[in-house]
Amino acid sequence: MKFGINTFLFTSPFKTKDISLFSKLKKWGFDSVEIAPEDVSHIDPFVVKQALDDKDLTCNPICAALGLGRDLRGSLQDQEFSMKYLMDVITVDGYIANFIYYYACMVLSSSVFTKGRIR
């Protein structure tokens, strides 16, 4: 059995400079890191991949940060922005994880909900 951990537990947004976390995560016994890029321009995928390799860690998978303004159910503008963001995340994931695999992690703020219903 392998264990992974999400970068949201330590930093938000994840940036290339945050690769210093990898040593600690490996020391704690994790096998993989789930990177949550809120903005893919904050990440140099080649540097991140090398840092993962150096610590014998994998990235399985990258986690998309969706929420306000990135809602596939929202306005046409939100949908278009979401699709561009997701395509960027898939591209970065391809560099870092060496395969195209992702899932969406909804980052919801309380303003998304009104009386228990999604707006």
Cα separation, 60 vs 34, in Å, equals 6
In this prediction, residue 62 carries a pLDDT of: 76
Overall pTM surpassing 0.85 (yes/no): no
pLDDT tens figures, 59-116: 877 778 887 888 888 888 888 888 888 888 888 877 776 543 333 333 333 334 333 4
pLDDT-derived band at 15 (thresholds 50, 70, 90) equals very high
Cα separation, 105 vs 54, in Å, equals 27
In this prediction, residue 98 carries a pLDDT of: 53
36 φ, ψ to 5°? Answer: -115, 90
pLDDT tens figures, 57-71: 998 777 788 878 888
Tokens of 8: 């949201």
The CATH number of domain 4-118 is 2.40.50.140: no
